[in-house]
Structure 1
Amino acid sequence: MIRAGRNLHRLVSIARVLARHDALFLIEEAFPLARLLSWPLKVRLIPRSRRRRKAEAGLRPGQRLTAALTELGPSFIKLGQALSTRADLLGEQMAADLSGLQDQLPPFPAADARRIIEEELGAPISSLYSSFDDVPVAAASIAQVHFAVTLDGREVAVKVLRPGVDAKFRRDIELLTWLAEGAERTVPRLRRLKPLETVKTFEDSIALEMDLRFEAAAAAELAENFQDDDSFRVPQVDWLRTARRVMTLERVHGIPVDERDLLLRAGHDPIEILGKAARAFFHQVFRDGFFHADMHPGNLFVDADGNLVAVDFGIMGRVDKPTRRFLGEMLLGFLSGDYRKVAEVHFAAGYVPADQSIDAFTQACRSIAEPILGRPMQEISIARLLGQLFQITETFEMETQPQLLLLQKSMLVAEGVGRNLDANVNMWLLAQPLIEDWMRAHLGPEARVREAVGTVLSSIERLPRLLQEAERTQAMMSGQGLRLHPDTVRAIFGDQRRRRPLAALLPWVIAAALAVALVMKP
């Protein structure tokens, strides 16, 4: 009861803000009873001027919700940014409106930033930096950034968490969890969309963002993945000046990637930059399975040499090997017009329940792809294709795949960056040779042979342990423990003399598989 009372009180205060912006529709849709409760808020509790009502009348629901979430503060700005990946839940237009949420908030005092730095690093500012700029260069929902210079003369950017922000997030996460539990309990049709799991995913991502050591580790991992590629760079982490609430990175000098005129005046070729961006995104997703999931123009710069430099690694995505394989096969099926193949990989991956009609799903895939793939090549949007695919999830009882939603959102942002650089060039066409090479290497006959050989080798590596376990179990059963007749033991574990010749054949199996691979190699 205490929990319910606390959350209800908080919900009322949030509802007031939502009502002020005529943005109560999400709560009303999730809880039909809320329509009756929200009516006084709309009509009587919060009178609005005629001018304000007229201004709001011209806004889309997503735009009104964006304004309300911005007023509600850091937790809800982050929530809106997370919801912007859920076109399957909110619809494509509303998700697009939420993606415009700005993360620029009033800064907190520099004195608080200095105090937090000194508490976290256990030393006075003067012994850490020779100079520290009290005016922040950026102030976001969770942290703000100050420029500084280290004692050895290096220019750095110092990111500091907002005071008390973790307590505010914990309070709002508790409320969101309570609402998600109520939604799953009272609105069965929402269970497929996994609202509780979505909140948990949001909570996990926020927990990572609340510890800047995790962000520093993400930056270091991404930098390691591109250590041999000068076209995409990550600022170096200063680990000696990094802690839970403070992170120090090499300062980036460059032009924001969306400032096309500045790039041209600096002598950079937008198409060349676009090609580097396409390759970097492809390598992150398919080669490494670890990608920057918030690479909007404010987080991507072009340095003096025309190379890309990324910042802000609080939101990162991971794609495991099976999912990458699924994406490759699905993309190949769509681009080749083999919609049956697209449907089959969805069923094989378990994304569509087995009791659904594969013929109907094939038809649905065709209906989605033909209008998009039939456009001029420079206008084709792979991200929009995925977004349309996620919109048919309810019809075929597909469960939400959070990692694919985040990827789709990241692709949409990447496409926006690409079109700003050159609207006549499709970034996916620039990456097509990489896509074809990756598919050939991971989906072709050679890849399947390598996979089979790998399975055999893995079995051989496990064989000694399996034999040891079998002999230990045999000894236990034939000793003081459970006694079995010798014929029974032999039937269960096999005759050791007959097993050895079988094991001796395994090297020949490997040799045969390798020979097949060599023969099939072009």
Structure 2
Amino acid sequence: MSAIRLLERRNAGAAGVRLSAALTRLGPSWVKFGQFLATRPDIVGKQLARDLESLQDKMAPFGMDEARAVIADALGAPVEALFAEFGPPVAAASIAQVHRASVVREDGSRRDVAVKVLRPGIERHFKRDLGDFFFIARLAEQLSAEGERLRLVAAVETLARSVTLEMDFRLEAAAASEMAENTKDDHDFRVPEVDWDRTARAVLTLEWIDGIKLSDRDALIAAGRDVAAVSCALMQSFLRHAMRDGFFHGDMHPGNLFVDDQGRIVAVDFGIMGRLGDTERRFLAEVLHGFIVRNYRRVAEVHFEVGYVPDIHPVESFTQAIRAIGEPIHGRSNDQISMAKLLTLMFEITSLFGMRARPELLLLQKSMVVVEGVARALDPKFDMWTAAAPVVREWIARNLGPIGRAEDVTDGAVGVGRFIGAVPELLGRSAVLVRRVDELTRAGFVLAPETVEAIGRAEGRGNRQIAAAAWIIAALLAALLVKLW
């Protein structure tokens, strides 16, 4: 058995139903906690994670008077002065609810908007419940070595940061604006326009989308849409966002996705977003490409180069484990191969080799599972690999090919420089070096007593050249670390 799942049981299906019901009864912050657990199959097990994915983020709406009060307080004006019309809630979730409204443009015409209003008291309730989450996580880490490996306290800290950001709608508006800028030249994807004049910490106003939900396959077909093309566009858009932009939508379930009258996919709800740095983007691209071309050695090497697997393990043993994942998928038709399942299996294997949980990759994996599920629901013969290959090849060619170049691997790591595309291994080694230097700076730079003593002995022997060189090296290293700090 690879690892003892902290919450996994044989009857996980029944447990998942009971747990979902219990979390719903406990309130909004517990619902959000359950949704977070659904993104962490490494903690709760695959079956329970799948059961928790069905946990509905639906709550009873709060009253119109409360909504109006929140808007007036946030925007400094009564609803009547801000909107020409303001209707009842059309959706209510754990953190907020959405109203359909309209505003008057400068030319006198009206435009429909979606107004997201923060649930009154949610911040206070979440702060109170967060203490319980931390207590459980600390206890699990103290009582279980597996709990410590999974970094449960860090997981709760991630949840806390995520929900805190999610409850500030100015940040969600900024996320929508950033994604709109990233995708402005994409012909098959777009983002609703933000109404900044009617957006504040507790209120978000966006362009209203009158598209067809991706969950309504029959309506898409009736409207003349090619569902196979929509499925392909969805997956390629997601991979472009992750690899090209390093910024992706972390909650792309069918309720958040529409097809507009021009056939473009439109995403809404930007409260949960994922970011990938250069290292993570390269990791994703090289792993997917390695599996596509059956280069398992390269898939294994990139894990070591970016520092995800401790180098105490032989790369040959890890290559063997990766081959055990990759070979069974070959010989099957492409539409039978699940990329999301492959990544899930890969993360399970890596846990055997001491790879620590990485929240950014887990959100990526969870999002890919959801996107793949939506695509296959639209087109049962959806070919994940054919859809992904052009995006992966484009990234590889541009970043690791002859004309590729390396960006700074870590903020402030000036001078890492540019590398020719023929030596991607050098890029990986540089990434490891800079990451380890960054970790050292976080702990503080201290010369070991043995080093100081050795320098003293060198001076005592009169070997001043060696001593001077040692002090110069120490000073340069200290200056570099201070600069990076």
Pick from 60, 79, 91 the counterpart of residue 33 of structure 2: 79
- Corresponding residue for 1:113? 67
Asked if residue 345 in structure 1 is aligned to residue 302 in structure 2, the reply is yes
- Corresponding residue for 1:468? none
- Corresponding residue for 2:427? none
TM-score, normalised by the number of residues in structure 2? 0.80
- Corresponding residue for 1:147? 100
1:379-398 pair list within 5 angstroms: 379-398=336-355
Distance 1:364 1:158, change over 3 A: same
TM-score, normalised by the number of residues in structure 1? 0.75
Measure the CA separation in 2 of the matches of 1:229 and 1:352. 36
Alpha carbons 2:60, 2:92 under 8 Å: kept: yes
Measure the CA separation in 1 of the matches of 2:63 and 2:285. 49
Could you tell me which amino acid in structure 2 is paired with residue 380 of structure 1? I
Measure the CA separation in 2 of the matches of 1:448 and 1:312. 34
Give secondary structure in 2 for the equivalent of 1:159: strand
Distance 1:261 1:350, change over 3 A: same
What count of residue pairs does the alignment treat as equivalent? 416
Distance 1:127 1:264, change over 3 A: same
1:286-435 pair list within 5 angstroms: 286-435=243-392
Measure the CA separation in 2 of the matches of 1:314 and 1:449. 31
Q: State the Cα deviation string for residues 85-142 of structure 1 (Å, max 9, x = none).
A: 1112222111111111111111111110001000111111111001100x21100010
Range 78-87 or range 306-315, more displaced = 78-87
Distance 1:192 1:374, change over 3 A: farther
Measure the CA separation in 1 of the matches of 2:345 and 2:100. 42
Range 439-448 or range 241-250, more displaced = 439-448
Q: State the Cα deviation string for residues 424-452 of structure 1 (Å, max 9, x = none).
A: 1214412322221211222224326999x
Instruction: Give the deviation of 1:29 after TM superposition.
Output: 8.3
- Corresponding residue for 1:129? 83
Measure the CA separation in 1 of the matches of 2:5 and 2:418. 53
5+ unaligned residues in a row in structure 2: which ranges?
409-414, 420-463, 470-485
Alpha carbons 2:96, 2:119 under 8 Å: kept: yes
Could you tell me which amino acid in structure 2 is paired with residue 283 of structure 1? R
Instruction: Give the deviation of 1:456 after TM superposition.
Output: 5.3
Asked if residue 160 in structure 1 is aligned to residue 117 in structure 2, the reply is yes
Distance 1:262 1:112, change over 3 A: same
1:2-401 pair list within 5 angstroms: 59-133=13-87, 135-152=88-105, 153-401=110-358
Q: State the Cα deviation string for residues 396-432 of structure 1 (Å, max 9, x = none).
A: 1110011110000000111011111111121441232
Alpha carbons 2:84, 2:102 under 8 Å: kept: yes
Measure the CA separation in 1 of the matches of 2:387 and 2:351. 34
Greater helix content: 1
Alpha carbons 2:246, 2:277 under 8 Å: kept: yes
Alpha carbons 1:87, 1:391 under 8 Å: kept: no
Measure the CA separation in 2 of the matches of 1:370 and 1:26. 26
Deviating runs (4+, > 6 A) in structure 1? 25-30
Measure the CA separation in 2 of the matches of 1:215 and 1:115. 21
Find the structure with the greater CA-based Rg: 1
5+ unaligned residues in a row in structure 1: which ranges?
1-24, 31-56, 459-486, 493-522
Instruction: Give the deviation of 1:58 after TM superposition.
Output: 10
Could you tell me which amino acid in structure 2 is paired with residue 370 of structure 1? E
Q: State the Cα deviation string for residues 471-494 of structure 1 (Å, max 9, x = none).
A: xxxxxxxxxxxxxxxx98xx87xx
Q: State the Cα deviation string for residues 323-354 of structure 1 (Å, max 9, x = none).
A: 11111111122222222221111112111111
Measure the CA separation in 1 of the matches of 2:348 and 2:333. 23
Measure the CA separation in 2 of the matches of 1:323 and 1:438. 13
Distance 1:258 1:159, change over 3 A: same
